[in-house]
Copies of this chain bind each other. A is one copy, B any other.
């Protein structure tokens, strides 16, 4: 039986509990949609993910892209599936009608992203990266850039990448040295090197637009000197596309996501590389960070999706594989039982389920906050949601990545010796998952962001919002007779408050090191408390639905 990736019941439950479509449909921006349209969209995407995309996973993993004659050639399946992914909104699902998008709520688009990512992270990676890159141009580029680049990217004709990292700088973007020399009319001569550029080269689209951070000559040192450029592989000159001096210098041998090549790029080796400034000079990093927050939610979604695919593999295996006998039935002469009957196997399956569905709720809640922050009629509601989303972003990125890796390791464990072979797909999901704790800001960086910025932002207002939400969820749970769950959540909330206060006091006293040294533990504490809150809400909703 094929892997369902997510069951229909789970998708439906999450749709009702976290997307809450009826409220969204009352907002003018989504006025042209209907509940049935959302449902049909989710069904269509899920069927494509299960029937077309998932069967390509093993192929892309086993036959990575070839690097020949300076170009990267990806698996033929990518050529086949890319147009359908564009059609299904993987590039522009949540973008407005006016730029060629489907104008879906982000919560709906995110729910639809789960089965796609569970089916094949590498293949959908091309689409989501293109969407993110085009969105940068949509938000900050002028009309000419939107017409030349964004429209073709949203339509699926061209693809896009995010080109931040340089070999010598890694995550320290202040140290990047790629340079931009003004040529007039918003055009700059780009020169430098980038590394770890996902989708940085491939052969299935006509062109690739690299959204590239570089430093205009004479710009100040550090982060304030960084600007954003659209640097296509081929640049439009009249009716033609000519080579823009962007070379693929290396393909990195990643241990997962093998279908999506990660490459090193070299710009302007012959001094003939043109980049178009996006927005204003010196604002590159702030633009990028607006996108980065969305990208971090998507990494969270990927963590959940990868964990879910592996969970369903191990669930099916545990139901089929017969081995051993439960305690007390050893001498009864009975045949071996399906291993799902062994308590420790059930424990591992339940832990995976708790991680997958807890993470799924967290990611959807973040996406829904993003909808509220952007489209709610009430400004206070918009601000409150934006603040809470800011606070939850590092959590939403990290919980699925870190606990998802544990979950994927458990899927291997349930398969026993067979899980340790490449004959079963679970080891591949474990490899896939590891990337999520590294890309778009490592878990360490998420911890610094949470404790050093988000916790103290706006005088702690966002943290107070979180505490209010947890308190509300606990009392709602209590109202449904879930006393034990409510008390546990309140205790987690109190620990969160006490720890935040104690660490904050160190910061106020100028002992910044003594505060920040605990950033990882703090991140883990908040992850657990927040996912407990998610489960409490789900428990209360279930009680209400049953009643």
Contacts and interface: CB of A to CB of B under 8 A. Distances in A.
Contacts of A249: none
Contact of A423 (B175, B253, B437): B253
Interface string A309-346: 00000000000010111011011010010000011110
A435 B420 contact: yes
A344 to B, nearest CB: 4
Contacts of A498: none
B255 A347 contact: no
Interface in A247-276: 252-256, 262
Given A422-B255, A438-B416, A347 B172 contact: no
Nearest to A196: B417
Contacts of A434: 409, 412, 420, 427, 430
A345 B254 contact: no
Contact of A255 (B195, B254, B420): B420
A157 to B, nearest CB: 30
A156 interface: no
A172 B323 contact: yes
Interface string A215-258: 00000011000000000000000000000000000001111100
Given A344-B520, A412-B434, A513-B343, A439 B417 contact: yes
Interface in A449-463: 452
Interface string A183-215: 000000000000110000000000000000000
Interface string A380-416: 0000000000000000000000000100010011001
Interface of A: 165, 169-172, 174-175, 195-196, 221-222, 252-256, 262, 321, 323-325, 327-328, 330-331, 333, 336, 342-345, 347-348, 405, 409, 412-413, 416-417, 419-423, 427, 430, 434-435, 437-439, 442-444, 447-448, 452, 512-513, 516-517, 519-520
